Structure 1
Amino acid sequence: MSRKTRIVATLGPSLEKLVDKVKDYVDVFRINLAHGDSDSHKRYFELIKTQAPDSSILADLPGPKLRVGDIGKVELKRGQEVVFSPDHGIIVQEALFYKSIKPGSTILLSDGLIRIRIKTVDKDSAVGEVLTPGVLTSRKGINIPDMTLDYGLTDNDFRLLDEALSLGADYIGLSFVLSENDVIKAKEKINNRAWVISKIEKNQAVNRLFKIVEESDGVMVARGDLGVEIGLENLPYVQRKIIKVSKLLGKPVILATQVLESMVSNPLPSRAEVIDVANSVYQGVDAIMLSDETAVGQYPFEAIQYLNNIIKSSEDKVKPMRPSPMKSTDDAVAFSSVSLSELSKSEVIAVHSRSGLSVIRVSRLRPKASILAFTPDPVVARRVKLCWGVYPFTLNENPGDLNELVTTLDKKCRELGVRGNLVIVAGDPKMESGRTNLLKLHHID
């Protein structure tokens, strides 16, 4: 129970043979549905459930993202003339691409590492000149600065959403969320079968940030496309803003993109990457995600190990900032539990929750004590695994009243080796789920 910030690792060709080896480090495995097909998606789900059954699964929808097709690896040189078309050159099959560019447009490839100025455009082809050279590989993203989208969810997203839910996803990542309406539509379709994680990567989303976070179950700072969209110089401020709003509203927040990017091809991270991870821990993110590092990198296991070590070292030295309590009875109990644990020197806060809300309320306050989350619902147990400092356990029984609840938690904590003062937080089992109205200082000899 030493690491409180969670690790999310993207499953891909590099990591699929190492799932059993990394399962003790990875809290959530991410499956990027923009790649592969139904058969490979099913295989990845089954791989995680078989080899890492205690880990949760994030299924990431592609959204209306423009991507390069299957081109292998192409070296682009400065001044080189390149052709975009659906079947040759730099393959781009989406009609939206050709509708969104014009002569003089500058497009960005591979998270902005490659820049190309468009010279001519036809209905289904275009010619451009390379301004910033680099090596372009299949399925890399295409960004068109200042392009305004009319929608955030596509028909393909809804198809993949059904697939992910049928395979047992715990979280659904919504790419290119534009407003809270995208989140509402997705949640209507999901009907509480998974948590909705909104990826903030468009300027339109930043402008609607509070409403989007309010409607979401969790948020991802998707720094790749976001940095291209708003300008890299603005990214640090916007990252802090997203984290602050997410913590204020009690929604888990994931930091993503180029976390340990140099480890795609190197066995050690750069100094700047180590500092970036540490600063993210200090800012109080719930989880940090690895993408290419584990999906296609040469050192996936080492990347996970380094991330784990950096997080643990950072958490030992600096406490994350604690947000102010919300003005509600439920949050008042959660806030009091944190204060009580510190004053009574309790090392554990035991939270009983049927919906997961009581767990989230305590987690957002970043207590020094470990949070043991007990729930009768294994689905809830997998979901709260994303939350900072939470260690979930599934109960085989569902206590009928407060006395039975305290007796059950006493027994479970004893089995886990908990001794001394223990703070218990829960909702009355006789009331509707989602409430937090019990606070008890309990002692285990």
Structure 2
Amino acid sequence: MELKPKTKIVATIGPSSLDEKILYEMVSKGMRVARLNFSHGERKFHKNAIDMVRKVSEELEVPVAILADLQGPRLRVGDLREEILLKEGEKVELFDIGEGGIEIPLSLIFEDLKEGDRILFDDGRIKILITEKEKGKLKGKVIQGGRLKPRKGINLPDTELSLPPLTKKDIEDLKFAIEEGVDIVALSFVKDGSDAFEVRKFLGGADLPIVAKIERPIAYKNIDSILENFDGVMVARGDLGVEMEIEMIPILQKEIIKKANKKGKLVITATQMLESMVENPVPTRAESTDIANSILDGTDALMLSGETAVGKYPSKAVEYMAKIANATEENLRIDSFCCPEDITPAFSISSASVKVANDIKAKLIMVFSVSGATAITISKMRPICPIVAFTPEESVRRKLSIYWGVFPLILKTHASTDQMIEIGEKILKEKGLVKKDETIVIVAGKTPAKGATNMLKVERIE
């Protein structure tokens, strides 16, 4: 068991990676979260992916969390009979799905649209300005031309949509994900913090972290509300880069990550991290720098999308991401980010454990955590050494797999904390994580229960 990289790697499972041998390589090289993109693939595909990931995880004795990424209210062009060539300056009309011509889901968005709004197609490659609204159709002017193809995505950067956060498809996908025991849920096209309540209605008491994908200007505007109500955020640079000025994306990324860390929330950075590796066996220098800078910004995890879903080199993409993360973590100091408004005893103990571990150059911090909360708090303080978190719950173990610097192991609850520490140290030695005379920092509770963290201890391995 390797305690690196501390930055966790999320890899999307697709046709290129739904293979036991390839998944084995990906987990061996550093994948700790498998993403299922419910915008693509049938239910059977996702079921196979879950079963295969669980099998590989068990064989390698490495926890791998499964992230269900819901499609959300994604807007698309209709099934056009043929491509439509749109020329700059051309006047056009847009109709509802099934009415011919340029078909968009007009009935869903007509009331929200206004004259002067832009409609972007195909990741912003084509742009139309709305000049007039009439009953059942829109009139517009092409401000950036191109070939409009069927089923291409639609973005509305100037429009505040009133669509519900969950579509009928999302609700069915969420039910399936819960039945299959996924570990994290990501919600697309989030508007504000209230969207989290809509998702929780369907969780049925399931303790699933919900991650908000920041993809639209309205989500960035409401980032404080989102961080208050969601368990984490994903900096989804794809749609965000379409709907906002592309030169602002690096600044927005840094601001979102900083705010998320200050609130002690999970943060994932996604989209085009190693885009060139969809076709090429090695990344570009710019991609390497992008990964390093995202780590220095304070991201918990980095996400691969097309690179592992449809790319030619899925396991190599994971390998290079891990190499770049390791080099960044070994050569550059990553600052502490967590600064909560309410200082609890558990936070004080966690903060002290990081200071002590850094001062004495501890081999690792050993944490006993029923819910995982203490391990997550310590993670946000970015200790120099890794965090080995013991938890009695397999679901918590998998959930912790996505947090920076946390390497979770299973240890059933025992009658006394002393007994748990003794068994924990034995496991560390058996796995080769510590050797005689090395120093570790221990964080636990006098009673092994949820929310009972109140003990800090320094111990030399015998």
| TM-score under structure 1 length normalisation | 0.90
Alignment partner, residue 149 of structure 1: 161
Q: Match for 1:185: what amino acid?
A: E
1:365 is aligned to 2:370: no
Structure 1 residue 390: deviation in Å? 0.9
Pairing partner for 2:196 from 183, 186, 195: 183
Pairing partner for 1:425 from 426, 443, 447: 443
SS of residue in 2 equivalent to 1:64: coil
Compared CA separation, residues 73 and 316, structure 1 to 2 (3 A):
farther
Pairing partner for 1:256 from 267, 270, 274: 270
Structure 2: state its 5+ residue gaps: none
1:339 is aligned to 2:378: no
Structure 1 residue 154: deviation in Å? 2.3
Pairing partner for 2:228 from 214, 217, 225: 214
Compared CA separation, residues 370 and 127, structure 1 to 2 (3 A):
same
Q: Write out aligned runs for 1:236-315 (5 A).
A: 236-315=250-329
Structure 1 residue 94: deviation in Å? 6.6
Compared CA separation, residues 285 and 152, structure 1 to 2 (3 A):
farther
Pairing partner for 1:356 from 347, 369, 372: 372
Structure 1 residue 140: deviation in Å? 4.2
Alignment partner, residue 110 of structure 1: 122
1:60 is aligned to 2:69: yes
Residues 288-337 of structure 1, C-alpha deviations (whole Å, 9 max, x = no match): 11112222233333322222222222222212221254422111101111
Pairing partner for 1:160 from 160, 170, 173: 173
1:29 is aligned to 2:43: no
Compared CA separation, residues 199 and 408, structure 1 to 2 (3 A):
same
The count of corresponding residues between Structure 1 and Structure 2 is: 443
Pairing partner for 2:337 from 310, 323, 347: 323
Q: Is residue 104–residue 118 contact of structure 1 (8 Å, CA) maintained in 2?
A: yes
Aligned CA RMSD, in angstroms, stands at 2.8
SS of residue in 1 equivalent to 2:5: coil
Q: Match for 1:333: what amino acid?
A: I
Separation of aligned partners in 1, 2:310 and 2:93 = 26
Structure 1 residue 245: deviation in Å? 1.2
Structure 1 residue 285: deviation in Å? 0.5
Structure 1: state its 5+ residue gaps: none
Alignment partner, residue 54 of structure 2: 49
Compared CA separation, residues 387 and 131, structure 1 to 2 (3 A):
same
Identity %: 38
Q: Is residue 84–residue 127 contact of structure 1 (8 Å, CA) maintained in 2?
A: no
1:412 is aligned to 2:412: no
Compared CA separation, residues 168 and 135, structure 1 to 2 (3 A):
farther
1:437 is aligned to 2:441: no
Pairing partner for 1:230 from 240, 244, 265: 244
Q: Is residue 338–residue 380 contact of structure 2 (8 Å, CA) maintained in 1?
A: no
Separation of aligned partners in 1, 2:11 and 2:155 = 24
Q: Is residue 223–residue 256 contact of structure 1 (8 Å, CA) maintained in 2?
A: yes
Q: Is residue 165–residue 193 contact of structure 1 (8 Å, CA) maintained in 2?
A: no
Separation of aligned partners in 1, 2:371 and 2:354 = 20
Alignment partner, residue 9 of structure 1: 11
Q: Match for 1:423: what amino acid?
A: V
Separation of aligned partners in 2, 1:72 and 1:296 = 27
Q: Is residue 358–residue 435 contact of structure 1 (8 Å, CA) maintained in 2?
A: no
Compared CA separation, residues 183 and 73, structure 1 to 2 (3 A):
farther
SS of residue in 2 equivalent to 1:442: strand
Separation of aligned partners in 2, 1:103 and 1:76 = 23
Separation of aligned partners in 1, 2:147 and 2:415 = 62
Q: Match for 1:400: what amino acid?
A: A
SS of residue in 2 equivalent to 1:228: helix
Q: Is residue 76–residue 130 contact of structure 1 (8 Å, CA) maintained in 2?
A: no
Separation of aligned partners in 1, 2:79 and 2:440 = 56
Compared CA separation, residues 146 and 120, structure 1 to 2 (3 A):
closer
Compared CA separation, residues 159 and 410, structure 1 to 2 (3 A):
same
Structure 1 residue 209: deviation in Å? 1.5
Pairing partner for 1:86 from 81, 97, 102: 97
Q: Is residue 111–residue 143 contact of structure 1 (8 Å, CA) maintained in 2?
A: yes
1:20 is aligned to 2:24: yes
SS of residue in 1 equivalent to 2:240: helix
Structure 1 residue 134: deviation in Å? 5.8
Q: Is residue 97–residue 103 contact of structure 2 (8 Å, CA) maintained in 1?
A: yes
Alignment partner, residue 396 of structure 2: 380
Separation of aligned partners in 2, 1:134 and 1:434 = 57
Q: Match for 1:429: what amino acid?
A: T
Compared CA separation, residues 301 and 405, structure 1 to 2 (3 A):
closer
Q: Is residue 8–residue 28 contact of structure 1 (8 Å, CA) maintained in 2?
A: yes
Separation of aligned partners in 2, 1:398 and 1:302 = 39
Compared CA separation, residues 56 and 125, structure 1 to 2 (3 A):
farther
